[in-house]
Amino acid sequence: MYHTQTALVPLLTVTESARCMGMTPTDPQTRCPYLGREGDPETWFAFPTGGNFCHKCQRPQSISMEYQPDRCLSSAYTSCPVYQHEGKWSGPLPEGIRSEAPTAGAPPLLLIAGIAAGGLGLLIIVGAVAVALLTGVFAPPDPTPTTTVIDIPTLTPTSDAPTPTDPPPTEELPTATPAVTEAQVTEEPPIDPAETLEAVVAFDSNIRSGPGTEFDVVGQAPGGTRVTLIGRDDTANWVQFQAATIPNGWIAATQLQNAGTLDLLTLPISSP
């Protein structure tokens, strides 16, 4: 007989979680609105746990417990790049945000089901053998020995290894190229290299014509693209850049891979 103990973890509704964290249920600024359990976006754990999932993703994904206190379970969730991403997040969460360990809880149930299935199968086999013995299926062998010649064929080993195939071609993101007329071509003043910074785009991002989501999208910046920062808005939340392989424009500072090591305030304030 196997005994299994299951730890009961308290699940908090929106109201109960708010009371445990010392806030009112009507205050949505103290936790990320996309935080929830895997199958219930309206209920979450009020403490860091592998049971908290990000519902900003197309399919809910578990969040790193080290990341939850400073972002998901605080008013600083607005600085999370996943929260700031336009539309649903596709693909895995960025490194440092996603949880690397699988969610626990299912193995005890699977173990009990496996033991029960194994015991049932053993009972069926024993019962079948008993019935066969009682009905004479297994008759005693003929006391007269006989000689049987068995021709054993020669087996030729064959390889079942799959034939390697070429990987499918990687689909490249289309790069939007804005139309340029003669009236639009103007000579830009030279840029002082001392007032620029080098940066790397963290993941695929929109390029806009000005510092904000209200400006038009003029292209796409693939993740890993190196850009030269030449200006910023007055809050340093958006930066203006130039690049050799993509259209020049504006991008949110949170989309930069090394934004934390850059002193964006040294850039000159630009206008679209």
Average pLDDT, the chain: 76
For residue 173, name the pLDDT band (cuts at 50, 70, 90): low
Provide the pLDDT for residue 259: 75
- Quick check: 127 pLDDT over 60? yes
Point out the least confidently predicted range of 3-7, 80-84, 187-191, 236-240: 3-7
- Quick check: 3 pLDDT over 50? no
Higher confidence at residue 115 or residue 107?
A: 115
d(CA 91, CA 59) in angstroms, rounded, equals: 9
Maximum average pLDDT range among 114-128, 136-150, 212-226: 212-226
**CATH 2.40.37.10 given to domain 193-266:** no
- Stated as kind and residue range, the H or E segment containing 83 is helix 81-84
105: left (phi over 0), alpha (psi -120 to 50) or beta: left
Cβ–Cβ < 8 Å for 231, 242? no
Joined tokens for residue 101: 């360990």
Helices (H) then strands (E): counts for the chain: 3, 9
Provide the pLDDT for residue 22: 41
For residue 5, name the pLDDT band (cuts at 50, 70, 90): very low
Provide the pLDDT for residue 101: 61
- Stated as kind and residue range, the H or E segment containing 121 is helix 107-135
Domain ranges across the chain: 14-84, 193-266
- Quick check: 125 pLDDT over 70? yes
Of all residues in the chain, the percent with pLDDT exceeding 70 is: 62
Report in angstroms the alpha-carbon separations of 81 from 8, 96, 129, 183, 215: 33, 12, 64, 38, 19
Provide the pLDDT for residue 132: 73
Provide the pLDDT for residue 118: 80
The residue type of 160 is D
For residue 172, name the pLDDT band (cuts at 50, 70, 90): low
The pLDDT tens digits for 214-242 are 999 999 999 989 999 999 999 989 999 99
Average pLDDT over residues 149-155: 65
Provide the pLDDT for residue 142: 56
d(CA 271, CA 160) in angstroms, rounded, equals: 64
